[in-house]
Structure 1
Amino acid sequence: MNRITTIDVTRGLVMIIMALDHIRDLLHITAISQNPTDLTTTTAPIFLTRWITHLCAPTFVFLSGASAYLSLKKNRNSAASRGFLFRRGLVLILLELTVINFAFWFDIQFRSLLLQVIYVIGGGLIILSILSRLPVRWVGLLGLVIVFGHNLLALLPPITNPTARFVSALFFRVDFFPLSPSFAVVTGYPLIPWLGIMLVGFALGSRLDQPITVRRRLLFRLGLSALGLFVILRFINVYGDPAPWSTQKDALFTVLSFINVTKYPPSLLYDLLMIGIALVVLGLADGVDNPVTRWLMVYGKVPMFYYIIHWYSVHLLMIAMVLLQGFSLNDIQAGTMSFGRPAGAGISLGPIYLVWLGLVLALYPLCRWYGRYKSAHPENAVLRYI
């Protein structure tokens, strides 16, 4: 089976957008004190800078499911292929707990543990290695049931038992656990709501080996249908997101309220909006070969490598910024759920965009080199995991 390049192009695009959010998190002057999607305190540029990056995580998860299907089909659904999915899932979770969490906090004591998108992709691949034995339509149906139904869990009473609450958070809810004065765990991405997205992506993978013209029509039809359903359900304002939209101080902020969907955990309306956009982007990029798509593919072919090095780069940029602003290394105090940035350090939104563009361009030759090295050494099994 030929490689479906639109997956790499779309993944490359959202990986570039992702870096903007993480640079804003660590370098923006108001990132510590201001919720960028709180319409009572934010500005439109800050809101949209955060909102556009909502596209990243669901697209990663969705495409991970599609890629898992294509990988299994390429290798004839063998037990070895399922075993690889299982092992890859374990490796991703291990990387999340170690290499990636250190990149978040730069804390050698590991006083903070944040479970994010790599955790849910890893867990999802483990579950997919089992569910992939079922007919694809059943896997897709299960994914749709999760996507459309998991918001009903909000109707259940809160869990008071500490152990049950922690287990529930790993699978269903965002939660914060200060397990000791010097150690805390945040389940930022509970597994099951994101698994639904991956299972739907897996089912779509079974339709991606069609001719490009047929595939493009399918991607556009599915994407526009998801966006249309989002508009209808959001307008009704009854089900699909825990935060209803409302009329705001002006027309612009009313529109922002309408698209201000809940990511933690991903609501039905969040899924419809973001996956709808991702499907349209997939359709637009399908079969397109030009300098822009080839540039995006360089990033999209090495997602794990890019994800790791971009986090370390962003954190090092934060340290450089702090030092350039007159602070010392002693002012950077890592602690529980703290990036260590001292109060008063930071830059405004305009320079954030300049830093973002500079970082993306700086990472290009590294990603191109690693992509070529990986392609040239298929015998190196370790490279399959990163």
Structure 2
Amino acid sequence: MARLPFLDRTRGLIMVFMALDHALFFWSSGRINNEGLPLLLNGTVTFNPLGDFSSLAFIVMLLSSICAPGFLFLAGYALALSIKRREFKGLSNSNINHHLWRRGMLLIALQLFIASPAFNLQMLLQTKSLSSVTWGTFFSMSVLSTIGIGFFFISLGRHISPWNLFGISGFLYLLSQLFLPTITLSYPSHLSIVQAGQAILVLPVSFSPESLVNNNFPVIPWLLPMTLGWLYGNTYAAQGIAYEAGRFAVSGFSCLTLFLLLRFAGLGDYLLPDGTFQGFFGLSKYPPSPDYYLLYLGLFFILLFLFYKLPEASRLAGVLEDFGKVPLFFYNIHLWLYAALPALLSNFNGYSLSFGVAVWAFGLIILYPLCHGYLVWKGLR
């Protein structure tokens, strides 16, 4: 089964938006983050509001919020196509399962030893002491570890219908939404194994070195786009790429229509619309609400369709395709590229939003030859 170039292009654009989000995290004030993060205040569960922000911050939020659901969808979709290829070659089920578990363990290791230290670099350099390396700073989990655990989940469920696997994931997601306030109320004991399990599976938490585990991408809420990608990848059939692109277009417009219906009705999100344009699109990402998924998966599906339509010879398509073919390399390199200098200068978040955008653009100029060279070295160009 041949690669689908528009998938690599869309993944490449998502990586570019992800780099924007992370560059601003390390460099700039004025960036919107922690949208909807559950908080326990005086015994009452509330959700962190968006607050005041500029038009540039709003645009950055819209672009960066596509990244996580799109990234996880493509992880599930590409995994389904990869397993189809392995099955076509006659590889055994045990061989495929071992591959999935090895891949999952690699992603968790990359999260703990490469990605998370980049996010914690500022704190580690400020303290200048090993005392800052706690269980919470080491077990600082995020998107890579969630995808890795998702590989374990799929390896256990890949022999049932992909519709059923997605249904199980959807049911667990709805349960996590329903019981989130109750779980938040029980969380304050940071060093409990039970609370660590809640942070890994259900509850996004504010980073704290005193916690046993930190995690802003709990597994159950974020399995939903991954198993959706698994479903689409498994149902991609012989009708061809044009049919698949059309299916994405229909899915995108359907998601956006349902989002508008729910949002105007004031349903599907912890953060209610406040009558402003920005408030209407201010959705809970931590944890991802139904409205959040409908809006950003809808936009992501439309992007897939548009990149199918982009001419093969387009220079932009070629650049994005190179980024999209090496997502793990790009992800880990870009974090350290953007994190190192502000940490060494002890000026974390010390610059304006517009300056951070300029740093992001300059970083992309550095990242492209690195990714292109890596592709050549791996024999993928």
2-side partners of 1:177 and 1:19: how far apart?
A: 21
Residues 34, 286 of structure 2: 8 Å contact kept: no
Query: Following superposition of structure 1 onto structure 2, how do residues 44-59 of structure 1 map, counting pairs within 5 Å?
Result: 44-59=55-70
- State whether structure 2 residue 374 is matched by structure 1 residue 370: yes
Residues 180, 202 of structure 2: 8 Å contact kept: no
Query: Following superposition of structure 1 onto structure 2, how do residues 1-386 of structure 1 map, counting pairs within 5 Å?
Result: 1-30=1-30, 39-76=50-87, 78-79=92-93, 80-106=95-121, 107=124, 109=130, 110-111=133-134, 112-113=137-138, 114-147=140-173, 150-154=176-180, 156=182, 158-159=185-186, 162-176=192-206, 178=208, 180=210, 185-209=213-237, 210-238=239-267, 240-247=268-275, 254-286=276-308, 288=310, 289=312, 290-319=314-343, 322=345, 332=346, 341=347, 346-375=350-379
**Two-structure CA RMSD over aligned residues (Å):** 2.4
How far 1:155 sits from its partner (Å)? 5.4
Of 351-360 and 13-22, deviating more is 351-360
CA shift digits 1:104-163 (9 cap, x unpaired): 222384342431111111110111111111122212322333455542223546336733
CA shift digits 1:155-180 (9 cap, x unpaired): 54633673322212210111247564
Number of aligned residues: 346
How far 1:40 sits from its partner (Å)? 3.8
Cα 1:128/1:273, change in 2 over 3 Å? same
Residues 36, 47 of structure 1: 8 Å contact kept: no
The percent identity for this pair of structures is 29
Give the TM-score taking structure 1 as reference length: 0.83
* SS of residue matched to 1:294: helix
1-side partners of 2:374 and 2:12: how far apart?
A: 15
Which position in structure 1 is the counterpart of 2:43?
none
1-side partners of 2:153 and 2:182: how far apart?
A: 25
For residue 133 of structure 1, what is the amino acid of its counterpart? H
Residues 4, 241 of structure 2: 8 Å contact kept: no
1-side partners of 2:195 and 2:34: how far apart?
A: 28
1-side partners of 2:335 and 2:327: how far apart?
A: 12
* SS of residue matched to 1:167: helix
Cα 1:302/1:177, change in 2 over 3 Å? closer
**Which has the bigger relative contact order, CA under 8 A and spacing at least 6?**
2
Residues 177, 184 of structure 1: 8 Å contact kept: no
1-side partners of 2:318 and 2:304: how far apart?
A: 14
Cα 1:75/1:193, change in 2 over 3 Å? same
Of 102-111 and 55-64, deviating more is 102-111
1-side partners of 2:92 and 2:118: how far apart?
A: 35
Which position in structure 2 is the counterpart of 1:382?
none
For residue 301 of structure 2, what is the amino acid of its counterpart? L
How far 1:316 sits from its partner (Å)? 2.2
Residues 26, 318 of structure 1: 8 Å contact kept: yes
Residues 144, 200 of structure 1: 8 Å contact kept: no
How far 1:188 sits from its partner (Å)? 0.8
For residue 97 of structure 2, what is the amino acid of its counterpart? R
1-side partners of 2:96 and 2:315: how far apart?
A: 34
CA shift digits 1:234-289 (9 cap, x unpaired): 11113x21111122xxxxxx111111111111111111111111111111112531
2-side partners of 1:11 and 1:284: how far apart?
A: 13
2-side partners of 1:156 and 1:89: how far apart?
A: 30
Give the TM-score taking structure 2 as reference length: 0.84
Residues 151, 268 of structure 1: 8 Å contact kept: no
Cα 1:287/1:129, change in 2 over 3 Å? farther
Structure 2's unaligned 5+ residue stretches are 36-48
Structure 1's unaligned 5+ residue stretches are 248-253, 323-331, 333-340, 378-386
For residue 348 of structure 1, what is the amino acid of its counterpart? S
How far 1:184 sits from its partner (Å)? 6.1
1-side partners of 2:266 and 2:196: how far apart?
A: 31
Cα 1:286/1:208, change in 2 over 3 Å? farther
